Amino acid sequence: MSKSVVDHCRAQELEFAELCRRSGLESSRVEAIYLGRWTPSPAERKAIAEAIGVTPAEIAWGHKTPIQHIYGHGPS
């Protein structure tokens, strides 16, 4: 069963700053991925997975925050 980035980091006692350093990605992007606000590209998935020491398939990717419409109230 795959775990989230947060779960992998907690299991390994990997600090957020160290995850950023190891991944080589901008901290704002790592934060968005870490918090489930951004679905990463294949290259970002690879970088995060390598930083954690797992394969991309071992990580549950995706949004944790529901996506909402910003404008309007839908079709009338």
72 belongs to a structural domain: no
Q: What is the CATH number of the domain that holds 14?
A: 1.10.260.40
Rounded to two decimals, what is the model's pTM?
Answer: 0.79
| pLDDT score of 75 | 60
**Dihedral Cα 4, 2, 39, 46, nearest 10 deg:** 100
Residue with tokens 């398939």: 57
pLDDT in tens, the chain (76 residues): 789 999 999 999 999 999 999 999 999 999 999 998 898 999 999 999 999 999 999 999 876 655 555 566 656 5
Domain assignment present for 65:
no
Residue 28 lies in a domain: yes
Instruction: Please tell me the total count of domains within the chain.
Output: 1
Look up the domain containing 25 and give its range.
5-58
pLDDT (0 to 100) of residue 16: 96
Q: Give CA–CA dist 42/76, Å, rounded.
A: 38
